[in-house]
Amino acid sequence: MRNTPLKGAGFQMAGLALGIAISSTSVQAADWLVIESWRNDDTKIWSDVIIPAFNKVHPDIKVEFNPTPPSDYNSALSAKLQGGTAGDLITCRPFDVSLSLYNKGYLEPLNDVEGMKHFSDVAKSAWVTDDGAANFCMPMASVIHGFIYNKEIFEELGLKEPRTETEFFDLLNTIKTESRYIPLVMGTADQWEAATMGFQNVGPNYWKGEEGRKNLISGDEKITDDQYVKVWEHLSKWSPYMGRGYKGQRYSDSQNLFTLGRGAIYPAGSWDIPTFNEQADFKFGAFFPPVPDGQDTCYISDHTDIAMGINKASKNKKSAKIFLNWMASQDFAELYSNALPGFFSLANHKIEIKDPVAQEFLSWRDECQQTIRNSYQILSRGTPSMENELWNVSVQVLNGKMTPENAAAQVESGLSKWYAPHQ
């Protein structure tokens, strides 16, 4: 037969694969916890710092951090939960995505977990049922929005951190006219920055933080109201200061442009700090979103972003609870917040943050009123989802394809299609 060589190789391979199949099914030992997470950026910190620290206290429980790329996390996790093959500990997205996992019976209620007492109700609010009866994930960290700037460029051009909007746009203008640096480093190609680092970053100042967020949920305010349209009006003024070709600029492009020293100001989330620490060879600082002229109170987005829950189908729930209790400890809070500057522990422990920029972000909590992203609670539950709409319209406003009024009208009409308080 002419195809013998191929066939021979095939049989050899079959033997090999069988061997691999057999050897890999037997790994599920008694106390082996697998963590599902989208934070693949943090793999190293988990395996080199956090898990060894846990094993110092509990050497008998093995822990494996098994991340999925962020964009595939929700879909891969839901497939694995349905197939009964997901890990023991599940990293929770805030609000409805995790709530729906809980409602479908994939997450264990955590009310009886000792460590939950270390978290305030506000911290727990993103992972609680609508009636407040059950908590299903233990809060881990929040992230804060603001602007990160290149200190060397600011010194070179003699610039100061802006407090008000006029100062902010004057500053951008100065950078644009007096230097070759990109004033505002952000792109619209990946879409989410427009909503997250644009709309949710500067917006709370206009809709008065929590007050506006709650009124939006109750239906007392509409997105078409003046204060929301003004956010997009603000954003539409960014376009001239963004880099050439920002429509094709991706998130990683922006990070690279900034860390290579080609841009002055970067609309940021505090989660960018670890990346910048590693890659920027200049000093950088941060300022909170400039307030509209004449407004005294500043509002910041201090967003509850990440938590940890237990897979209801896990065979190691006891160990999983031990791990969660350890995660509620002072040790973990300190370890995590300092290993990943920019992710701020949500526990009530007093901890010291060593990173200066992360400290700066944290200090705004005393200075400003805090809120979370207004599209996250309830309002993205139906179709169309408000969050998806915000991505889309904010990009279009920044690209000059849509007026602020139309952007507001589209989001409001989306809400009115399924959400009673807005009908």
Kindly identify the residues of this chain, within the stretch 208-237, that bind another protein according to CB under 8 A: none
Q: Is 180 in the site for another protein (CB under 8 A)?
A: no
Distance of CA 343 to the CA centre of its chain: 9
Q: Is 341 in the site for another protein (CB under 8 A)?
A: no
Q: Is 125 in the site for another protein (CB under 8 A)?
A: no
Candidates 92-100, 173-181, 326-334, 340-348 — which segment interacts with another protein by CB under 8 A?
Answer: 92-100
Residues between 357 and 396 with contacts to another protein, criterion CB under 8 A: 375-376, 380-381, 383-388, 391-392, 395-396
CB of 200 to another protein, least distance (A): 12
Q: Is 400 in the site for another protein (CB under 8 A)?
A: no
H-helix or E-strand spanning residue 184: strand 182-184
Distance CA 423, CA 60 (A): 56
Q: Give the CA-trace dihedral at 248, 251, 256, 259, to 10 degrees.
A: 130
- Residue from 55, 57, 82, 220 in contact with another protein (CB under 8 A): 82
CB of 165 to another protein, least distance (A): 27
CB of 80 to another protein, least distance (A): 7
CB of 78 to another protein, least distance (A): 6
Site size with another protein, rule: CB under 8 A: 90
CB crowding 199-209: b at 16 or more within 10 Å, else e: bbbbbbbbbbb
CA distances from 352 to 50, 338, 341, 356 (A): 17, 8, 11, 11
Residues 7-46, mask of contacts with another protein (x by CB under 8 A): x-xx--xx-xxx-xx--xx-x------------xx-xx--
CB of 134 to another protein, least distance (A): 13
Q: Say if residue 295 is exposed, middle or buried (CB neighbours under 10 Å; 0-12, 13-18, 19+).
A: middle
Tokens encoding 356:
């200066």
Q: Is 96 in the site for another protein (CB under 8 A)?
A: yes
Q: Nearest CA to 287 among 174, 162, 136?
A: 162
Strand partners, 64: 34
- Residue from 37, 150, 215, 255 in contact with another protein (CB under 8 A): 255
Residues between 304 and 333 with contacts to another protein, criterion CB under 8 A: none
Residues between 45 and 64 with contacts to another protein, criterion CB under 8 A: 64
Residues between 192 and 211 with contacts to another protein, criterion CB under 8 A: 192
- Establish whether the linkage from the previous residue to 69 is cis, with ω within 30° of 0: no
CB of 421 to another protein, least distance (A): 18
Tokens encoding 361:
């972000």
CB of 76 to another protein, least distance (A): 5
Q: Is 4 in the site for another protein (CB under 8 A)?
A: no
Give the Cβ contact number of residue 245 at 10 Å: 10
Give the Cβ contact number of residue 186 at 10 Å: 26
- Residue from 163, 250, 317, 349 in contact with another protein (CB under 8 A): 250
Phi-psi region of 132 (alpha: psi -120 to 50; beta: other; left: phi over 0): left
The answer to whether 130 and 100 are in contact (CB under 8 A) is: no
CB of 17 to another protein, least distance (A): 5
In 3-state terms, what secondary structure has residue 322?
helix
Candidates 76-84, 108-116, 199-207, 220-228 — which segment interacts with another protein by CB under 8 A?
Answer: 76-84
The answer to whether 246 and 188 are in contact (CB under 8 A) is: yes
CB of 145 to another protein, least distance (A): 17
